[in-house]
Structure 1
Amino acid sequence: MIWVSCNHHNKHIEAKENLKHFHSVVDVSPFEILSTMTGHELIFLEVKNSSSEGFELLRAVKQRHAATKVVIVYHELDADLALNVLRAGGDDVISVNSNRQQLDECFTRLHTHTVNVESGAYEQRELSIKPALIIIDQNISAPLREEDLANACQYSPTYFSRLFHNVMGVTLKQYIIKKRLDLACGLLISDREKISSVATSAGFKDVSYFSRVFKKHIGCSPGEFRLKKHDVN
């Protein structure tokens, strides 16, 4: 694992120390990461807030190696942070104060969306829908139409729908809902924003619909989920 700090103040980072207790973590300078990475790393990118220069570095990393997993570790949460993470191609977002359980939950979310490539043919099929996956990652808060995603991959909507299900193992709708719920869970754990704000940041424009979908898939309401996680922590 690689830790890249774009925050200019040397502080004790709880999340980083918790990582080091159980994993090998290498510190790499923002100026060196692009020349040293191979594309197979898990990168934790530390930023101050949504205005950090780290988001430009995140875009550069994703342009160099799109499959590299990058987790944004923030000091200050503001209204634009989640959207900036998604637009830049980040895979998850956690607080600098994340404890062991929150880190484990982050790893679980990352693993959920890791496609195991078992053959050259499978890898080629995954690459064929990569434009759609990138659009989803970068625009998860916005409306996502199957027709637009299919056009990005140069397929008809019908063929794209079958191909996506075949490659990812879930339907497009299920995949998008899962991505949005993963983001919502992370935001509910990390901050105290209103449920309606979390719903909007995660791409659910209707808070009532968000609550119904959340309870169906997670087993409790967003508010109950937040209370349970904070009680545990």
Structure 2
Amino acid sequence: MEKSVLLWIDMKASRSEEGVSILFEKYFVVRMIGADQAAMLTPSDITPSAICFDYDFPDKYGLDLLRSTRMNFPTLPVLLLTEQHSEALAIWALRMRVWDFLVKPLNAAQTEQEIHQLKNQIDTHEHWETTPFNGSNVPPIPEEARFINNGTQEERSLAPAVSYIQQHLTEKISEEQMACLCRMRPFQFSRSFRKICGITFQEFVQRTRIEEAMRLLQNPNMTVLDIALSVGFRDQSYFTRVFKKHIGMAPTAYRDSRIIGETIHSSEHETLDMFGTH
């Protein structure tokens, strides 16, 4: 039986994971194109059976391209491959009716099952769901991708570091390690990071940890020590000092203020409901 054509759009900034497409070649004829070619595609140009977007850490431009492709080819299954472990990105893909969202490095056995299901769907001539997107119901790009702003090369080059920080807060994160991940020299990385983010790398890491701690403090079942460990602090007293420096109060005081605020807010709503006010 003749193989179906899978259009493979290479959106990677780096050359990592070069062999991923091999997993698909058992079932498909894989045709590789780059972002520039993909941006010019129209329905009259190609007749693939499915489209795969292969990212490392997708930026706003890359996700905009997937979104426009999904709208131009509404009956074709679109796959999204990425190295980014992101709940927000996975939810966005679901809302865009992406056929499958796969996180690299891929599990070969599990991926082959997914590919086999896709091939069966194509062979039985079942079209993927046609979703009538318009300006009002197209899902917005996740905020974490919008960090890349207008997608300049310098901004895109920092995306792997920002994503890594967000996903590995419990670990020790060094500037040298992130410079290597972004394929930069440490001095170049440090200068670019401050230019793009407006703060130093270490300040960004610390701020990200405190923001996550603020979110976790809303969970009354987690102790302050648990939260400190969850965001990468090994010493509770040091965590408390850093938190107070950024927020202006200790973690326990912040938690108490949130509980009091929510209680007052809830009571106000109950009072309004009693009088039939909405």
Cα distance in 2 between the residues matched to 1:71 and 1:190: 24
Give the share of equivalent positions with the same residue, in percent: 30
Corresponding position of 2:149: 117
Which of 1 and 2 has greater Rg? 2
- Residue of structure 1 aligned with 2:243, choices 185, 198, 214: 214
The 1-side partners of 2:83 and 2:232 are apart by 27
1:140–1:202 contact (8 Å) kept in structure 2: yes
Q: Is the partner of 1:173 in helix, strand or coil?
A: helix
Code of the residue aligned with 1:63 in structure 2: it is: T
Q: 1:131 to 1:213 in 2, by over 3 A?
A: same
TM-score by length of 1: 0.52
Match of 1:147 in 2: 176
Partners of 1:221 and 1:188 in 2: CA distance = 11
- Residue 192 (str. 1) matches residue 221 (str. 2): yes
Structure-2 separation of matches of 1:217 and 1:146 = 21
RMSD: 3.4
- Cα distance change, pair 190–62 in 1 and its aligned pair in 2 (3 A): farther
- 1:130 maps to 159
Distance 2:209 2:86 in 1: 19
TM-score (norm 2): 0.44
| Inter-CA distance 62–170: structure 2 relative to 1 (3 Å threshold) | farther
Task: Identify the residue that residue 200 of structure 2 maps to in structure 1.
Answer: 171
**Equivalence map 1:98-109=2 (5 Å):** none
Please, which runs of 5 or more residues in structure 1 have no aligned partner?
Answer: 1-33, 41-59, 73-86, 89-109
- Tell me if the contact between 1:141 and 1:200 (Cα under 8 Å) persists in the aligned partners: yes
SS, match of residue 192 in structure 1? coil
How far residue 65 of structure 1 moved from its aligned partner, in angstroms, is: 8.2
Separation of aligned partners in 2, 1:131 and 1:157: 15
Change (3 A) 1:211 1:70: farther
Contact 2:158 2:193 in 1 (8 A): yes
Match of residue 187 from structure 2: 158
Q: Cα offset for 1:115? A: 2.5
Q: Which runs of 5 or more residues in structure 2 are unaligned?
A: 1-51, 54-61, 65-78, 92-102, 105-141, 263-278
* 1:63 paired residue number: 82
Separation in structure 1 between the aligned mates of residue 245 and residue 144 of structure 2, nearest angstrom: 18
Are positions 1:228 and 2:257 aligned together? yes
On the 8 A contact 1:215/1:221 being kept in 2, the answer is yes
Determine the C-alpha separation between the residues in 2 that align with 1:71 and 1:204. Answer: 28
Task: Name the aligned partner's letter for residue 163 of structure 2.
Answer: I
| Structure 1 residue 134: Cα displacement | 2.2
Kindly provide the amino acid, as one letter, of the partner of residue 214 in structure 1: F
